[in-house]
Amino acid sequence: MYTQLEQRGMLEPPVNVSTLRAMKQNGEPIACMTAYDASFAALVDAAGTDLVLVGDSLGMVIQGHDTTVPVTVDDIIYHSRTVARGIRRAFLVADMPFMSFTKPAIALDNSIRLMQEGGAMMVKLEGGDDQVEIVEHLARHDIPVCAHLGLRPQSVHKIGGFKVQGREPDKATEMCASARRLQNAGADIVLLECVPNEVGKMIRAELEVPVIGIGAGPDVDGQILVLYDILDITQGRTPKFVKNFQAGRDSPLEALEAYVREVKNREYPAPEHCFS
């Protein structure tokens, strides 16, 4: 199966869903970050990143919008295709943009496009219980899915800002139950954004599939950050969970390697990057 990869000089198979599950079982933290083009994707991969996300954050960091809402399926496909050319080992996930999964059939059509045209190996979609039917439909068609809970940036206009989610005990319990339902529907990964440490810990313990956090504390199975935040390219105010890994380092590759190392050693996130 991996003849072409052997020909390209790869010593071991690339990361896949089984690798990620095994990492959770073995307690090895999963290091993830975003990428949007082939050159950065090659650096991200060379740094030892396990999972690369072509996030709809590209609407903000590449296109200059204030939110991720304007991003289209064609935008994600364009960037995912370029990232796919840059990576060798990492697992490639592409975001389903705003309103691209309003019905099971629409979600399936757009997922197929992200995989066939964008080279993605998994799709990520924001939402809780409302998305169970969609996840079930995609899973039935063997589309790998990452469910995104906690802060859902596509809903920013409804939520009224980029705010920490799940602080109230009933909301935390609800989120945990949604995570289990999404897993049972077929989600292969759950991503948690901006929740208190305790919520991250509870959901990780509840699920068999890996839980990847961004601002979800240290007690999850892996961490993800936006590439431009890691490299201190993002201007202005950044969220509390962001750490500048470029400071004191000579090259972007050194900064990315430092991020992967700190995730693997559980040095990142430190208490100052967490919510209570």
Binding residues for ligand KIV, rule: CB under 6 A, are 34, 53, 55-57, 95, 191, 193, 214, 224, 226
Cα–Cα distance measured from residue 147 to residue 188, given in angstroms and rounded to the nearest whole number: 8
Contacts of 119 (CB under 8 A, 6+ apart): 80, 81, 83, 84, 85, 92
In whole angstroms, how close is the CB of 261 to ligand KIV at the nearest point? 20
Query: Looking at 126, 193, 257, 262, which residue is catalytic?
Result: 193
Neighbouring C-alpha atoms within 13 Å toward the C-beta of 85:
10
CB of 56 to ligand KIV, least distance (A): 5
Residue 138 Cβ, how far from ligand KIV at the closest point, in Å? 17
Smaller CB separation from ligand KIV, 123 or 258: 123
Do the Cβ atoms of 64 and 274 come closer than 8 Å? Answer: no
- We find the least distance from the C-beta atom of residue 2 to ligand KIV, in angstroms, to be 29
State how far the Cα of 166 lies from the Cα of 246, in Å rounded to an integer: 31
Peptide bond into 269 cis (omega under 30): yes
Q: Considering beta carbons, is residue 10 or 159 the nearer one to ligand KIV?
A: 159
In the bound state, the residue with its beta carbon closest to ligand KIV is: 55
| Closer Cβ to ligand KIV, 34 or 131, answer by number | 34
Q: Which one, 229 or 262, has the nearer CB to ligand KIV? A: 229
Cα–Cα distance, 204 to 196 (Å, whole number): 13
CB of 157 to ligand KIV, least distance (A): 16
Distance CA(207)–CA(195), nearest Å, equals 16
Nearer to ligand KIV, 2 or 162 (CB): 162
Query: What is the CA angle 134-136-137, rounded to 5?
Result: 65
Q: Which residues pair with 190 in a beta bridge?
A: 147, 211
The question of whether 254 is a catalytic residue gets the answer no
Q: Which residues are catalytic?
A: 193
